[in-house]
Amino acid sequence: MCLGLFKRFPFYCHQYSLSDVCFFQHETFNWDSQTQGYILGAFFYGYMVTQIISGMIAEKFGGKRLMLFGLSWFSLLTLLTPIVSVVGGFAALFTIRVLEGMGAVCNSAM
C-alpha cells in the first residue's frame, strides 16, 4: 500500500496544481480558455497513445524498471515545464504535456 501511495503522489500533486498553473499562465501568456483546454488535454493524448505499448514493455522488462523510468521521466518533464512554457510558448508546452502523459502511463502498467 505504501508503494502505491508513493507511486501516485507526484501525479496527484501535478493534477491538482495544474488548474492553478493554467490560471497563472493565462495571466502571463493571455491564453484563452480553448488554448488552456488544449494544454490540459495534451496530457491525455500522450497517456492514451502509449497505453498498450507500455503494457507490452512491462511484460518484457518488468514493472519495476518501467515504473522507475516513468517516474523519472515524468518528474524531469514536470520540472522543465515552466522553462519550456516561457521559452517555447504553446507548441513546446503542448509537446511536453504529451510527453508527460507518456511517462504517466508507464506507472499505470505495473
pLDDT of residue 45: 93
Q: Which has the closest alpha carbon to 93: 10, 9, 21?
A: 21
Cα separation, 48 vs 55, whole angstroms? 12
**Domain spans in the chain, listed from the N-terminal domain onward:** 2-108
The pLDDT tens digits of the residues spanning 79-103 come to 999 999 889 989 999 999 999 998 8
Which secondary structure element, helix H or strand E, spans residue 100, and what is its range? helix 63-108
Q: Is this model's pTM higher than 0.85 or not? A: no
12-57 pLDDT, tens digit each: 555 545 555 555 544 577 888 999 999 999 999 999 988 888 888 8
What's the rounded Cα separation, in Å, for the pair 69 and 85?
A: 24
